[in-house]
Amino acid sequence: MRSMKTLTQEDTPIHRALEEQRLNRLAHFDVPGHKGGRGNKELKHFLGDTTLSLDMNSMKPLDNLCHPVSVIKEAQELTAEAFGADEAFFIVNGTTQAVQAMIMAVCKSGDKVIMPRNVHRSAINALVVCGAIPVYINPGTNKELGIPLGMSVEDVKQAIIENPDAKAVLVNNPTYYGICSNLKEIVKIAHEHGMLVLADEAHGTHFYFHDALPISAMEAGADMSAVSMHKTGGSLTQSSILLTRNTVNADYVRQVINLTQTTSGSYLLLSSLDIARKNLSLNGKSMFDKTIEFATYAREEINKLGGYYAFGEELINGDTVYAFDITKLSIHTRNIGLAGIEVYDLLRDDYGIQIEFGDIGNILAIISSGDRNLEIERLISALSEIKRLHKKDMAGMFDHEYINPQIVMGPQEAFYSNKRSMPINESKGQICGEFVMCYPPGIPILAPGERITEDILNYIAYAKEKGCFMTGTQDMKIENINVVE
């Protein structure tokens, strides 16, 4: 095994070790039971010989994800170097686990954590599991777009002053729509008050590799960051990384990760992280040059169509929109009389175009260097056609994505309380005992412990009517809801 001193960003230790094992003609009396695909020929035919032969289990030459000492350790160290972190952990349970590991590493039952309410469900799920108590900050809102923005620095400062015993502040960097808070200032204030800063960078991998993009969490001085390598970094779906600084005990973080992460880490996912890191480190600047060029062109052309509003850096106000991710193609659709989810469905069903998500008033298209000019033009043309064929009056449209919650009890207490099921449309005034959300983006409309209001019920009914994919409730038909007794 080579020392890290001899490794460079051109190396891929896990990839190299896997190739060596694939070529050494071992007789395998270990798992997986498909034995390189020979035991499941249909799967081998579908995924290919190479994929099945690389689907190996942990063995000495391949290291162990739970306790890395060789090639995984090397790959993680190269990743930390590439991202400007002190430590990096490979995650194979998705960024959901990375977010939960951050929270669970700094909070125990009863501890407070300050966070925006427009967090991904993974953050609130962590509170359900570990018993930490959220101090929610309502994000700013844009009345024209109806979307939640970032956190105001003053609101964060006020929450810190009012909750001096809070352990950490969690920040979205960026939101699903590409909006960033003033992360550097939030870090400064939090650290002055002895609190850690955790960043959900599920949509911010590219921030680390291009100067024209908002500041990354590690550069801003955050203590931990959960990064979805698979979203904009080029690794396989479900692979992620958790970055840490020396302000946290990395060995303890590893123990927390191991509470819930599989002991059978997929080497397909691990090698994809290894190779994606190399690609980003060597080619990231040119990759995101191309991404920015594509997104900027599409934004300008869509805005020329009229009716749509592909928003961008003009939203920056120095506070709740401190920076904007110009690679994000977020498009407001309400002015053509269509909900975002309706445009989403039309694009897929009538034009063969799959975008990331549609919500009540907006759609989001993920742009990357892997796109092609022809596909960008197809999207623009399809949106033009949809406007021509389907535009209608805006009357009766719901005009906001975010509703300030009324917190009655902690998420863990509510989720594990005695509950009863009742029709959602009769639940006004009750305390919610589970989640209700549209997925994607997976930001809860209701979380355990929140009061069910008429505004929320109207939102849920409207989202269902427009065809949003609703999740979270025990009732798979989303007709009944569990409320606290």
Backbone angles phi, psi at 394, to 5 degrees: -80, -5
Tokens of 269: 């996912």
Inter-helix orientation angle 340-351/454-466, to 10°: 10
The amino acid at 168: A
- In the chain, which segments carry CATH 3.90.1150.10? 283-390
CB atoms inside a 10 Å sphere around CB 387? 20
Q: Are 115 and 123 in contact (CB under 8 A)?
A: yes
Helical H segments across 306-420, by residue range: 340-351, 373-390, 411-415
Nearest-Å Rg of the Cα atoms of the chain is 23
* Nearby residues of 453 by Cβ (< 8 Å), 6 or more positions away: 403, 406, 428, 429
* Nearby residues of 403 by Cβ (< 8 Å), 6 or more positions away: 445, 453, 455, 456, 459
d(C-alpha 359, C-alpha 484), whole Å: 28
Strand 112-116 to 133-137 pairing: parallel
283-390 placed in CATH 3.90.1150.10 = yes
CB atoms inside a 10 Å sphere around CB 374? 7
The upper half-sphere exposure of residue 345, i.e. CA atoms within 13 Å in the direction of its Cβ, equals 12
Q: What is the largest CA-CA distance in the chain?
A: 68
d(C-alpha 18, C-alpha 332), whole Å: 46
Tokens of 30: 């270990």
DSSP-derived letter for residue 309 is E
pLDDT for 5 equals 60
CB atoms inside a 10 Å sphere around CB 22? 15
d(C-alpha 120, C-alpha 115), whole Å: 11
**Peptide bond connecting 440 to the previous residue in cis, omega within 30 degrees of 0:** yes
- In the chain, which segments carry CATH 3.40.640.10? 4-10+63-281
CB atoms inside a 10 Å sphere around CB 396? 7
Inter-helix orientation angle 71-83/13-23, to 10°: 150
* Nearby residues of 477 by Cβ (< 8 Å), 6 or more positions away: none
d(C-alpha 277, C-alpha 96), whole Å: 20
Residue of 254, 258, 229, 224 lying closest to 241 (CA atoms): 229
Residue of 235, 234, 230, 227 lying closest to 204 (CA atoms): 227
* Predicted TM-score (pTM) of this structure: 0.95
CA torsion sign for 21, 22, 23, 27 is positive
Q: Are 90 and 65 in contact (CB under 8 A)?
A: yes
Write out the chain's pLDDT in tens, 485 residues: 344 568 999 999 999 999 999 888 888 999 999 999 999 999 999 999 999 999 999 999 999 999 999 999 999 999 999 999 999 999 999 999 999 999 999 999 999 999 999 999 999 999 999 999 999 999 998 988 989 999 999 999 999 999 999 999 999 999 999 999 999 999 999 999 999 999 999 999 999 999 999 999 999 999 999 999 999 999 999 999 999 999 999 999 999 999 999 999 999 999 999 999 999 999 999 999 999 999 999 999 999 999 999 999 999 999 999 999 999 999 999 999 999 999 999 999 999 999 999 999 999 999 999 999 999 999 999 999 999 999 999 877 877 778 888 999 999 999 999 999 999 999 999 999 999 998 878 889 999 999 999 999 999 999 898 889 999 999 999 999 999 99
Tokens of 196: 């850690």
Strand partners, 180: 323
Tokens of 126: 């962590």
* Nearby residues of 127 by Cβ (< 8 Å), 6 or more positions away: 103, 113, 133, 134, 410, 411, 412
- In the chain, which segments carry CATH 3.90.105.10? 411-484
Fold observed for domain 411-484: Molybdopterin biosynthesis moea protein, domain 2 (3.90.105)
d(C-alpha 266, C-alpha 243), whole Å: 20
Residue of 271, 465, 287 lying closest to 371 (CA atoms): 287
May I ask the CATH class of domain 4-10+63-281? Answer: alpha beta
* Nearby residues of 183 by Cβ (< 8 Å), 6 or more positions away: 171, 173, 197, 199, 214, 215, 217, 220, 222, 322
